[in-house]
Structure 1
Amino acid sequence: MLAEAAAAAPIPPGARVLDLCTGSGALAVTAARLGAGGVTAVDVSRRAVISVRLNAWARGLPVRARRGSLVEPLSAASGRVSADGPYDVVLANPPYVPGPSATAPTGRERAWDGGPDGRTVLDPFCAAAPGLLSGTGFVLLVQSHVSGVQRSLVMLREGGLRASVVARRRVPFGPVMRAQAAYLEDSGLVRPGQRHEDLVVIRAGHR
């Protein structure tokens, strides 16, 4: 969905792009193929950073991968993640699945665990997003309805951005969401027996 939204946006030729929670680098590679002038891809996982570098190198694309945590650099405004900014486009597919653990996730859980309400990374990202953008820049953020789409919209708007949902897709629960189904029901985040979620893409920009 996020790749489709980036293509439809579109990404301006020569744009400076930041891809947060990049994973394998698929979105970073997509942005470079769509004409971005340079892409910075960030992930907390060392393996993800290596994967991005290999994928970009194999395709000869202008993608630079960095290892870093989203929450600490963005909430502290340290500039470690945004050192190359401001950016014309920020892509974000953060961990947003709610889970019962109150401790920081480790290992593979870091890819999806968004804390008790799914917003451990979403909140600092939404707060920091306006400062990452150039005057004409925009954010494309993907998340599930179970982690508070309206809250993301409100936070982005409070930061001075115009924000709206530009894509929505209903999908069956995947393995991660199925594993959390009982917690989601007990927390009132889904209805009893519900086994689907609405994924949305939010676009936010200065204009």
Structure 2
Amino acid sequence: MTATAAAYASVGAIDFPVFRLPGVYPPQADTALLAEAAASAPIPRGARVLDAYTGSGVLAVTAARLGAGDVTAVDVSRRAVLCARLNAWGRGLPVRAWRGSLAEVAGGYDVVLANPPYVPCPSPAVPAGRERAWDAGPDGRAVLDPLCATAPDLLNDKGFLLLVHSHVSDVDQSLAALRAAGLSVTVVARRRVPFGPVMRARAAYLEAAGLVRRGQRHEDLVVIRADRG
């Protein structure tokens, strides 16, 4: 591992070193919570799994280590795709990583893992650079809304989605959107954590937009399970 690698020991299901290039979203509390939810689900042995918005590929690696037989990792970032490939290749795991958007993904998955961008930001424009890993429009739902609407198309008849995001981006709206898309939904994990660097830097905007209380510097991370079958 090089200086760009970071070791994550005993953080839920993330108990392995992760290679990450500069500019690639680092595994954080939301990643760990989703990995724990995947372990608890559990992911069926031999399952076909999609890791959407893969980042460094941690969730794809986790799914393969949990027994998935065929894992696809997708991200719009070339660096992220490279990291996902290296993190899987070094462990001999059945992960294929490719660059593209979720709209290009064919369906039929047993499990979809999603840690999409969900941080509210002042600009509605599509971000460039590393900010596209977290910025998601004024209410944080620029990626969440289309994901919820198209989730059934990604799943097979018995498949399920595990989606993590912050309460700041309106968990109730995600639950309602997934139900409207015909899925059965439940909250399977929740954790309160202090704001990380991005949310701290965005605190004044979040307060002005009424998304958090004045002086609030924590968020509730939530994992939603949505079943098609």
Q: For this structure pair, what is the TM-score category when the shorter chain's length is used for normalisation?
A: over 0.9
Q: Distance in 1 between matches of 2:142 and 2:130?
A: 16
Question: Could you tell me the percent identity over the aligned residues?
Answer: 76
CA offset at residue 32 of structure 1? 0.4
The secondary structure found in structure 2 opposite 1:10 is coil
Q: How does 1:183-202 map to 2 (within 5 A)?
A: 183-202=205-224
1:81 aligns with 2:105: yes
CA offset at residue 68 of structure 1? 1.1
Deviation digits for residues 128-177 of structure 1 (CA, Å, limit 9, x no counterpart): 00111111110000000010100100110111110111100000101000
CA offset at residue 6 of structure 1? 0.3
CA offset at residue 81 of structure 1? 1.4
Q: Distance in 1 between matches of 2:153 and 2:101?
A: 17
1:12 aligns with 2:44: yes
* Structure 2: unaligned runs, 5 residues or longer: 1-32
Question: In angstroms, what is the RMSD of aligned CA positions?
Answer: 0.8
1:129 aligns with 2:151: yes
1:139 aligns with 2:171: no
Q: 2:171 aligns with which of 122, 127, 149?
A: 149
Q: 1:51 aligns with which of 83, 89, 92?
A: 83
| Contact 2:148 2:174 survives alignment (8 Å) | yes
1:42 aligns with 2:64: no
CA offset at residue 111 of structure 1? 0.8
| Contact 2:105 2:154 survives alignment (8 Å) | no
The count of aligned residue pairs is 197
The secondary structure found in structure 1 opposite 2:90 is helix
1:115 aligns with 2:147: no
Q: Which amino acid aligns with 1:94?
A: P
Q: 1:67 aligns with which of 99, 112, 119?
A: 99
CA offset at residue 69 of structure 1? 2.4
CA offset at residue 206 of structure 1? 1.9
Q: Distance in 2 between matches of 1:31 and 1:49?
A: 16
Q: Which amino acid aligns with 1:3?
A: A
Which residue in 1 is equivalent to 2:22? none
CA offset at residue 120 of structure 1? 0.7
